Structure 1
Amino acid sequence: MWGFAMSYGVFQEYYHDNWTLQGSRNVTGVIGTTSNGVIYLSIPFLFALFTKRWARRRQSAALCGTALTCASFIISSFSRSAWQLVLAHGVLAGIGCALMYSPTTLSLGEWFDSSHGTVNRAVAYGVTLSCKNIVGSAGPFLFRGLLDRYGFRTTLRIWAAVVAGTSMSAILLIPTHPSKLSPSSQRTRKISWRFLNHRTFYIYTFAIILQSCGYGIPQTYLGQYAHEVTLLSQRWATILLALFNIPGILSSFFFGYLSDNKHLSLSASTVTAISAGGSGLSAFIFWGLSLKNSITLIILFSITFGFFSSGYSSTWGGVLNEMEQEAGQWNEAIDTGLIYGLLNGARGIGYISGGLASIQLLQARSMSSAGAFAYGTSYGPLIVFTGLSSVLGGWGLLWNWEWKAGVYSLRDGLVLLYIQLKRTAGKCV
């Protein structure tokens, strides 16, 4: 389900150079982010349905999702205009992938429930999420070879067959947790929504929206940037996309491990800030300051941004653990599966918002703009947007900042600073 979404940059570059459909080719820039956005926006509703009421139908729903995904790629291969491509490529494929993702991920969270004390849930999420980076590393080369040889129509039909074969066989191997299949599960209490009364949920939700606005942009435009600005070959553009995804194989596990590490106790806000800050600085320094005729910094950007940004979603296991502890302090029931779905929904909002913003940002400056760095190209506003949204994805740390001597409000800190400055001025006099 992640193969197309993680490798869409190859399709974006192909459409840009081989446009034969009706309508503006710039519209294709929203396909990748729309597909991801629809997946994540659908997840909260699907998680709510399959958490309790339709738990027994998870496998059937995932198989239906496979059928819809395959159908969407086949429909895309017959597209004659840009809007048809967006509808089939972006919307229908996104809904189908969401139907595959939601039931299987719910089962994962139940098998690795932190209350069992055996395997850490954040690590389990991290290992599983690293799979999308594995296929995202191999996918660009596969799609590039197919596109160059057969064109996009045949490529999409071949990919539909790949999705059908791999997805159905895998879904049949994923068991639903016994607690959801027992007769008593039908009489369980209703889902608790009390977590909506806590500030923690909104802090992390807003942070995820901000981070996701910039996360999908390099995946979509990095290959096109390398081809247009640095005049690299299509092969190099494909390599850059693979370099973007390869570090995520390790980082997904690494940030999941940081979130669950019992020896190095780091708060969820700290781990998310490490991921967000690292990816933001990478965009500002390596991509923004790269020379138009140089590839060195672009390679560094692909590796570092891919590492830090890909691990961001793996920190959500730590967020769920933190919210579980907070609910325990208030003696409240909490459904982590539903909350995880809502966090994915926040990512969907960010994906779609970032995709729509990217079209306008690319038009904000012409290619003839002055400057030797990437900031001086038409991609300059896009780079700044990517860096800012990534850094702001770690803003939750500001709400949990603790001093060793205690927690001070901003007002108290300013008063203490004023008194100290006044004393120092008196001594100088």
Structure 2
Amino acid sequence: MEKTEKIDYSESQNDQAGQQVDLAPENVASIQEVDEIPPDKGYAWLILFAGVLNYMMPFGTLNAFGVFQTYYLLVMFPNEPARNISWISTMALSCSYIGSIFASSLIARFGLRGTNLIGTLVGAGGFLLASFSTKVWQLVLTQGVLFGIGGSILINVSVVVPSLWFEKHLGLAIGTVIAGTGLGSLIITPITTQAIKAVGISWTFRILALMYCVLTGVGTIVFKPRKHFVSAKSVINLQHLKDPVALLLCFAGFLVVTGYTCGTLYFPATIVALGTTKQYASNLIMVFSVFSMTGRILSGQLARRLGSVKILIFSHAMNGLVMILLWNLGKSVPVYIVAYSLIGLFSVPLFTLSSVIIANHYPKKYISQVNGLVSLFMGAGAILGIPLVGLVFDVVGNRTDYKWVKIIGAISYFSTIICFVLLRIYLIKSDPKYRLSPL
């Protein structure tokens, strides 16, 4: 950790002295070099494809965690408190964020391809070891910690590479890569559901380990920088928190994770409680994934016209309202389906747009580092928030009433709006030209 380093963000500015970079993706500053490969063309789209595959396994599996959560609660560990079982998903999600802080130093030492390979081996190894696990604590270490750390490294590499290869279409590129989460869910959810029924949980993990190696291995082969690229060597630098942009994104990330996981982890179980089957609930995860994938792509593309911060404010307000009005007060399956679809559509912009904002606001050598810092706060939010929700479900809800799970999820989304409003005010006041820009 470098506590005394003075961070210079001047590289992220345009040629005119003192002019800051607009959050709109088309205004990303570039470093022109002799014989550099043109951005947004040719090999950039192969990079984009590999990035989508990279995102499919880590977060695609996390989005499908409702299948595992339902299986653990109802079949594998029926007598285990929900708060104990929740530590599996807690560590998987939190390590998927926290582990990103190591990506910058790994990239500096091993390059993009070497770092991607490390993420593949660690993540697939977590799945393989999980196949031999029979206790909750064993799954916490394997499906939780190892899988999460491996995935976090891949995720960070995946959002750094588009910033090196895209300029005009940066928002679309990052949104498309992160949309791999939804695509992964569409593939992994039915495979996981059917595999558990056909060959059991152990062989399901082995199948997922093989898929992990094949899909993320593509990035190890094709990833490379478009031009000379130097990544910050330090694991983490808290000096970035002196910049209000990083600070507010970190706080928003800390708050939003609890609300996001309330939907992904508990919604399948709540619809089973209405009288549907576990298979029906698993199928709905795929519906959620389609809307989630759509939301990620649209938010990245619309950021150019409407502004990243406006999209974040609107989306998180909508998600809070849906959780309170439809999911909490709704009592029928059709209402739940509408609620789940809308939550999928509006719950994901921060995961896309924080990366877009960071890629536009900071020099390229700091992108991985700042992404890692925001991810660290998200991981901290997961470590605190997910067990708290599990405790409330156990104690207040008596393991049958999901009311407070839904309310906590809504409060989580509403609270992030404060961060986004402050972010918009800061950007407008810091430079008059933001008053004419989509924020």
Specify whether residues 258 and 346 from structure 1 end up closer, same or farther in structure 2 by C-alpha distance, changes over 3 A only. Answer: farther
Alignment-mate amino acid for residue 295 of structure 1: V
Give the drift of 1:243. Answer: 1.7
Partner of 1:427: none
1:98 aligns with 2:152: yes
Checking the alignment, whether the CA contact within 8 Å between 1:40 and 1:344 is kept in structure 2 is yes
Partner of 1:342: 373
Give the drift of 1:160. Answer: 1.0
Separation in 2 of the partners of 1:20 and 1:254? 39
Find the residue that maps to 2:196 and give its secondary structure. Answer: helix
1:29 aligns with 2:61: no
Separation in 2 of the partners of 1:91 and 1:160? 15
Separation in 2 of the partners of 1:6 and 1:240? 12
Separation in 2 of the partners of 1:193 and 1:139? 36
Separation in 1 of the partners of 2:104 and 2:220? 17
Give the drift of 1:128. Answer: 0.6
Alignment-mate amino acid for residue 190 of structure 2: F
- Alignment partner of 1:119 out of 155, 160, 168: 168
Give the drift of 1:395. Answer: 1.5
Find the residue that maps to 2:179 and give its secondary structure. Answer: helix
Separation in 1 of the partners of 2:232 and 2:193? 51
1:176 aligns with 2:233: no
Find the residue that maps to 2:409 and give its secondary structure. Answer: helix
Give the drift of 1:393. Answer: 1.7
Any stretches of 5+ residues in structure 1 without a counterpart? 113-117, 328-332, 369-376, 407-429
Checking the alignment, whether the CA contact within 8 Å between 1:21 and 1:80 is kept in structure 2 is no
Separation in 2 of the partners of 1:64 and 1:234? 35
Checking the alignment, whether the CA contact within 8 Å between 1:275 and 1:394 is kept in structure 2 is no
Q: What TM-score do you get using the length of structure 1 for normalisation?
A: 0.78
- Alignment partner of 2:319 out of 268, 271, 279: 279
Superposed, 1:256-405 pairs within 5 Å as 256-261=300-305, 264=306, 266=307, 268-291=308-331, 294-320=332-358, 323-324=361-362, 335-366=366-397, 378-399=401-422
Give the drift of 1:48. Answer: 4.4
Alignment-mate amino acid for residue 380 of structure 1: K
1:39 aligns with 2:96: yes
- Alignment partner of 2:187 out of 138, 141, 146: 138
Specify whether residues 259 and 44 from structure 1 end up closer, same or farther in structure 2 by C-alpha distance, changes over 3 A only. Answer: farther
Find the residue that maps to 1:259 and give its secondary structure. Answer: helix
Give the drift of 1:195. Answer: 4.1
Partner of 2:177: 128
Alignment-mate amino acid for residue 94 of structure 2: G
Query: What per-residue deviation string (whole Å, max 9, x for no partner) do you get for residues 66-104 of structure 1?
Result: 122222112111112111111111001111212323334
Q: Highest relative contact order (Cα 8 Å, sep 6+), 1 or 2?
A: 2
Alignment-mate amino acid for residue 314 of structure 2: I
Any stretches of 5+ residues in structure 2 without a counterpart? 1-56, 430-439
Query: What per-residue deviation string (whole Å, max 9, x for no partner) do you get for residues 254-307 of structure 1?
Result: 11123222xx4x3x432211121111111111110111xx20111011100110
- Alignment partner of 2:126 out of 58, 72, 81: 72
Find the residue that maps to 1:312 and give its secondary structure. Answer: helix
Alignment-mate amino acid for residue 95 of structure 2: V
Partner of 2:34: none
Give the drift of 1:158. Answer: 1.3
Superposed, 1:214-253 pairs within 5 Å as 214-227=259-272, 229-253=273-297
Checking the alignment, whether the CA contact within 8 Å between 2:102 and 2:153 is kept in structure 1 is no
Larger Rg computed on CA atoms: 1
Give the drift of 1:252. Answer: 0.7
Specify whether residues 160 and 224 from structure 1 end up closer, same or farther in structure 2 by C-alpha distance, changes over 3 A only. Answer: same
Alignment-mate amino acid for residue 266 of structure 2: Y
Percent of residue pairs bearing the same amino acid type: 20
Separation in 1 of the partners of 2:279 and 2:354? 35
Alignment-mate amino acid for residue 68 of structure 2: F
Alignment-mate amino acid for residue 305 of structure 1: I
Specify whether residues 25 and 380 from structure 1 end up closer, same or farther in structure 2 by C-alpha distance, changes over 3 A only. Answer: closer
Q: RMSD over aligned Cα, in angstroms?
A: 3.0
Query: What per-residue deviation string (whole Å, max 9, x for no partner) do you get for residues 159-181 of structure 1?
Result: 1111122221342122233313x
Separation in 2 of the partners of 1:277 and 1:203? 17
Alignment-mate amino acid for residue 207 of structure 1: A
Separation in 1 of the partners of 2:232 and 2:205? 45
Alignment-mate amino acid for residue 98 of structure 1: S
Partner of 2:36: none
Separation in 2 of the partners of 1:367 and 1:158? 35
Give the drift of 1:145. Answer: 0.6
Give the drift of 1:400. Answer: 5.5
Find the residue that maps to 2:228 and give its secondary structure. Answer: helix
Separation in 2 of the partners of 1:68 and 1:35? 13
Checking the alignment, whether the CA contact within 8 Å between 1:272 and 1:312 is kept in structure 2 is yes
Alignment-mate amino acid for residue 393 of structure 2: L
